[in-house]
């Protein structure tokens, strides 16, 4: 089981939709995928229609250590894609974790209970620093951080997200946990000079090799397409909504974009995702 956390200390960068699109893509590719919604604004929890709803969710998992799947894991309409929904409506979990001796490490231990049932776990997080976000980072094998190509977003990543990771590095030096490497995903890239300039500045700031061991800027990116908004409105993963590029548009199909992100994120998925390039139309929902 491989665990990914989608993080950013800035809201509105596309974390929830990135989780939804990746989860849907991997489930359609035959992997057993578990989404975990840790955001108090539960966009991910409502992205896909729930087919079988569990009585509990993230509150019961973290506060009560409830790991029985039938109690906390709901099943979506996409085969192979399950979710632990966000249901901490009164925001009690941060205070609970702050007062618990294992606060930042509890989620890491709980997620291990699902390793025989899932191939991939993808966690969505709040767009602000919190102990819940820190716990999610420490529970993951790899972090993915969407960033919009704007100067303020780039500054917030360096000040907020990167600053948090550096502090967690010091916190974990006496534990068996490690702070994961972060893949920086440029999201909603458009054709403006400013957007492309910020994207290039990020690549120069975090070059491959050298002393940069914490952050890599992904070559794959997601364009600023109407299709992503339309897919979200219908509760569809982008690879089902737009399997092929519309005639006359330069940007690749939404399906090709999310596949490129997934294959760069984990090259071992290339073998199961490449066949979909020929079969994408078969996955379109009617």
139-158 pLDDT tens trace: 999 999 999 988 888 888 88
Q: What is the mean pLDDT of residues 227-231?
A: 96
Domain ranges for the chain, please list them.
Answer: 2-269
Per-residue confidence (pLDDT) for residue 209, from 0 to 100? 59
DSSP 34-79: EEEE--SS-TGGGTSPEEE--S--HHHHHHH----HHHH-EEESST
pTM confidence score: 0.91
pLDDT band at 284 (very low <50, low <70, confident <90, very high): very low
CATH topology of domain 2-269: Rossmann fold (3.40.50)
Q: Which two tokens stand for residue 123?
A: 């966690």
Percent pLDDT > 70 in the chain is 94
pLDDT band at 166 (very low <50, low <70, confident <90, very high): confident
Mean pLDDT of the chain: 90
235-280 pLDDT tens trace: 999 999 999 999 988 899 999 999 999 999 999 999 999 854 444 4
Per-residue confidence (pLDDT) for residue 208, from 0 to 100? 72
Better pLDDT: 259 or 281: 259
DSSP 97-131: HHHSTTTTTHHHHHHGGGTTT-SEEEEE--SS--H
């Amino acid at each position: 089981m491989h665990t990914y956390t989608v993080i950013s200390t800035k809201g509105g960068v596309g974390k929830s939709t990135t989780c939804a699109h990746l989860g849907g893509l991997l489930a359609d590719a035959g992997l057993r995928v578990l989404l975990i919604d840790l955001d108090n604004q539960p966009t991910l929890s409502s992205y896909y229609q729930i087919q079988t709803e569990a009585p509990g969710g993230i509150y019961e998992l973290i506060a009560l250590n409830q790991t029985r799947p039938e109690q906390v894991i709901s099943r979506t309409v996409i085969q192979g894609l399950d979710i632990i929904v966000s249901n901490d409506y009164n925001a009690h979990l941060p205070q609970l974790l702050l007062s618990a001796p294992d606060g930042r490490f509890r989620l890491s231990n709980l997620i291990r209970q699902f390793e025989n049932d899932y191939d991939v776990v993808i966690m969505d997080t709040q767009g602000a620093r919190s102990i819940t976000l820190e716990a999610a980072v420490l529970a993951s094998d790899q972090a993915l951080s969407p960033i919009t190509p704007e100067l303020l977003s780039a500054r917030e990543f360096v000040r907020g997200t990167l600053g948090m990771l550096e502090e967690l590095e010091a916190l974990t030096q006496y534990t068996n946990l490690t702070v994961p490497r972060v893949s920086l995903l440029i999201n909603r890239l458009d054709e403006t000079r400013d957007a492309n300039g910020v994207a290039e500045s990020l690549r120069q700031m975090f070059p491959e090799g050298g002393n940069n061991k914490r952050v890599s800027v992904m070559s794959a990116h997601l364009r600023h397409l109407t299709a992503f908004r339309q897919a979200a409105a219908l509760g569809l993963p982008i690879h089902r909504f737009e399997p092929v590029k519309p005639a006359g548009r330069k940007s690749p199909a939404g399906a090709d974009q999310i596949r490129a992100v997934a294959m760069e994120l984990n090259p071992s998925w290339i073998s199961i995702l490449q066949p979909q390039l020929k079969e994408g139309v078969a996955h379109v929902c009617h």
